[in-house]
Structure 1
Amino acid sequence: MFSGFGIGTVDCCLNLFVGNLKYANQLLGVMHAFYGLGCLVSPILSIHLIEVGLDWNQYYLLLFGFATTAFICSAIMFRNETKWKYMYMTEQKHLKEQNEDDGIPQEQASMSELLRNRYVLFFALTLFLYLGSELCAGIWFFNYLITIKKVVERSASYITSSYWASLTLGRFALGFVTGHFFENNEVRAMVLYTGLISGGCAGFWLFENYTSLQVVCIDFVGFFVGPVFATSMVIAIKCLPARIGSGGVPVICGLGAAGGAVVPWVMGNIAEKLGDGTSGSGLVYFPNMMFTTFASAFGLWFGFYLLNRKKLENYEKL
């Protein structure tokens, strides 16, 4: 629990910090790619250490060493990034927006106002669907291959790893694509990416009798899923006013992260309670679930773009 809280806090701080820098899409893409790389390497490393004689819980000593090293490096490299500097930069951003609004003073939004803001709720809902669907695919795809497709465990593990590898590659590569071709037009990139993801999920569903084609489709989905989180954060930071954005981004991350718990849980209930009554038989509906959640995210982004197209093209705050 504490490790998850720490990762979420660090991730939110990085999004706020990097999102305000030049080349935000590229930087966030690279950082999130290394996060995905860690997800890919860690299971392999832990299994190797167990095979050479270490107890399973001794792996946490290695993680402790990595975390300590990261803490020391962060303390040194970011020693000048103080709360006073952040408060000053935020105040300057507020003053700039006040001047653009004829000098009308604006106070920092309260938590209740953030939770009522439709744009904060929109970003939170899209992240809820995205994070939930991403983790649902990573968690249940392995079980789907074994239970429904009758794939042997070793092959199923390799296929599942290919999904995470595609996701990591997408985070790295598409961050540069977004930054180069969609700078200040990231919403268009999101509509494109989520549309392609929905198409990949449709293929994953339609080709359910062809396992090899399903693998191609799920890797295609993983590639375009990769940049969605980072790009969503860049859009939120750029589009929301400073009085909303500074407090709104942590709220968006927090509410959106709940999807990682809810969507896989829903799929688990479907797996156990539907189907022919045998354990896990409901996983036959796994492709339907992936298409429904990812397509819903695409529908939200497409509607958001149509409703706010004028403001987005004029680079106005929402």
Structure 2
Amino acid sequence: MPTNKTRVSGIGLIVLAFVAFIALGLPDGLLGVGWPSIRDSFAVPLDAIGMLLTTVIAGYMISSFFSGFLLSRLGVGRMLAASCLLTGMALIGYTVVPHWWMMVALGVFAGLGAGAIDAGLNTYVAAHFGETLMQWLHASWGVGVTIGPILMTLGLTTLNTWHFGYQIVGIFQIALAICFVLTLAMWASHARNVPSGDEPAKRLTDYQTPMIETLRQPQVWLSVMLFFLYVGAESSLGIWTYTLLTESRGVDQALAGFFAGSYWFTFTIGRIAAGMITIRTGATRLVFTGLSGALLGAVLLIWNPSQLMNVVAVALIGLAIAPIFPALMSDTSMRVGDHHAANTIGMQMTATGFGTAVIPGLMGVLAQRVSLEIIPLCLLVVYASLFGLYLLVVRLRRVSVTVVAAKTGPTQAIK
């Protein structure tokens, strides 16, 4: 039975994990607001952002893939300390390198650190604390990504430099690495005092389905495509909102920074609220409602009748899409079956990396060749495609359940 000391230790580690996820979200909120100034500093075209996104995501996917190996060799405390240090040094490095290609190269190290932090904390919380705290963990990321645009806007408007945002976040990451080093004994002690047979961790390894079998399942690829489209759309609006408003619609820098921040703020509020109602509404209804709201927001952004309507559109999209990612993730086994769920979740996380790199980068290419006003139209197309794909997935799932019910009886099918 856990002692009071163990409970206090566990609470302290959870608080530190939440702070780490806030730090994880901070860099994601910096780039969108900072990009116009960054590209001016290095004299690169609008679509060069795709190069940086590609290296960051490449590093992220590599460290995420090997996170299980690293956890078993280093332990969670050491891995998180090293990851925060690596990320912090890379972010500060962005502000001192003289050439664009050097910043792009540093993106690999920033991604390596971020991927290890993300995967390490997700695995640890899932294994030792369960689903409820996992929801709050991801809400903490929303807090970080909301603060990021505010920090960058502050640096641009008061100091006239994009360096400030990355330097502050980099220093924060390094300070967090020191905190992880100082609490190494607590991480190790808490892991020993939590039963190894914790149900969420156990369920992850119940099925050892060969990957080749999973790759042959059409519903698996449909599920992967859902994550590719969703995360691509989510990151695209976060990255391009500020540039669209300042360079195409003539909005003041400070006001545009507020608009960009409103997206992540309502996103965070929406995720917290969804955690309170998801049991009553169900994942499917949450996803359809969220996508409907996102489509409406994209239409308002295209319409652009006033500056006020811009902020309403951006905030509406943030609020609407917030519950979609966790709802899709928790519903994976319903789409692909228990035997393929673990493999599919790994593929879905890989798809989020590709989506984050490919879709915003493609929008940048189109904006460079056509106009920044193509961004809202692209968002509408992606959300409409996502809505149609999810409708197809739900219908296929219902057909599958009907077939199983006909063979085994409704009770077994539902089970």
Calculate the TM-score normalised by the size of structure 1. Answer: 0.77
1:235: Cα distance to partner? 0.6
- How many Å apart are 1:186 and its aligned residue? 1.3
The yes-or-no answer on 1:268 pairing with 2:353 is no
1:246–1:6 distance in 2 versus 1, CA, 3 Å: farther
Task: State the partner residue of 1:152.
Answer: 252
Q: How far did residue 63 of structure 1 move?
A: 0.6
How many Å apart are 1:188 and its aligned residue?
2.6
Corresponding residue number in structure 2 for 1:103: none
Within the candidate set 354, 375, 394, 1:258 is matched to: 354
CA distance in 2, matches of 1:247, 1:176: 29
Name the residue aligned to 1:198.
Answer: 295
Identify, as 1 or 2, the structure richer in helix: 2
Q: Deviations over 1:176-207 (max 9, x none)?
A: 1213x13xx312321222122222222322x2
Structure 1 residue aligned with 2:373, among 259, 270, 284?
284
Gaps of 5+ in 2: 1-107, 403-409
Cα distance, 1:67 vs. partner?
A: 3.6
Q: Is the 8 A contact 1:194 1:225 kept in 2?
A: yes
The question of 1:167 aligning with 2:255 is answered: no
Q: What is the aligned partner in structure 2 of residue 143 from structure 1?
A: 243
Match of 2:90 in 1: none
Is residue 2:173 matched to residue 1:66? no
**Alpha-carbon separation, structure 2, partners of 1:119 and 1:48:** 46
1:74, distance to aligned residue in structure 2 (A)? 4.7
RMSD: 3.6
Note the C-alpha offset of 1:317. 8.4
- C-alpha distance in 2, partners of 1:22/1:176? 18
Counterpart amino acid of residue 375 in structure 2: F
Q: Counterpart of 1:247? A: 343
Q: Secondary structure at the match of 1:296?
A: helix
What is the aligned partner in structure 2 of residue 98 from structure 1? none
Distance 1:46 1:288 in 2: 27
- Post-superposition shift, 1:11? 3.9
Corresponding residue for 1:105?
A: none
The one-letter code of the counterpart of 1:217 is A
For the residue of structure 1 that corresponds to 2:372, the secondary structure is: helix
Match of 1:186 among 269, 283, 286: 283
Deviation at 1:300, TM superposition (A): 1.2
SS in structure 2 opposite 1:283? coil
Partner of 1:236: 332
Alpha carbons of structure 1 residues 254 and 10: separation in structure 2 relative to 1, 3 Å: farther
Change (3 A) 1:247 1:79: farther
User: CA separation in 1, counterparts of 2:414 and 2:210?
Assistant: 19
Alignment CA distance shift 1:112-1:317 (3 Å): farther
The answer to whether the aligner puts 1:89 opposite 2:202 as a matched pair is yes
| 1:46-61 equivalent positions in 2, closer than 5 A | 56=164, 59=168, 60-61=170-171
Match of 1:306 among 395, 401, 409: 395
Structure 2 counterpart of 1:4, from 93, 111, 115: 111
Kept in 1, the 8 Å contact 2:263–2:315? The answer is yes
State which drifts further: 69-78 or 79-88. 79-88
Worse-matched range after superposition: 125-134 or 43-52: 43-52
Aligned residue pairs: how many? 291
2:142 corresponds to 1:36: yes
If asked which structure has higher relative contact order (CA below 8 Å, sep 6+), I would say: 1
Correspondence for 1:133 among 220, 223, 233:
233
1:44/1:161 CA distance change after superposition, 3 Å: closer
Amino acid at match of 2:202: M
Taking the aligned partners of 2:307 and 2:412, their CA distance within structure 1 comes to 45
Residue 33 of structure 2 corresponds to which residue in structure 1? none
The 10-residue stretch of structure 1 (62-71 or 149-158) with the greater mean CA deviation from structure 2: 62-71
Q: Report the 3-state secondary structure (helix = DSSP H, G, I; strand = E; otherwise coil) of the residue aligned with 1:258.
A: helix
Deviation at 1:16, TM superposition (A): 6.5
Aligned to 2:213, which of 113, 116, 120?
113
User: 2:413 and 2:113 mapped to 1: Cα distance?
Assistant: 34
Within 1, Cα distance between the matches of 2:238 and 2:214? Answer: 31
Which amino acid letter does the alignment assign opposite residue 288 of structure 1?
L
Distance 2:267 2:398 in 1: 29
Is the alpha carbon distance of 1:48 and 1:290 closer, same or farther for their aligned partners in structure 2, counting shifts above 3 Å? closer
The whole-number CA distance in structure 2 between the counterparts of 1:88 and 1:39 is 28
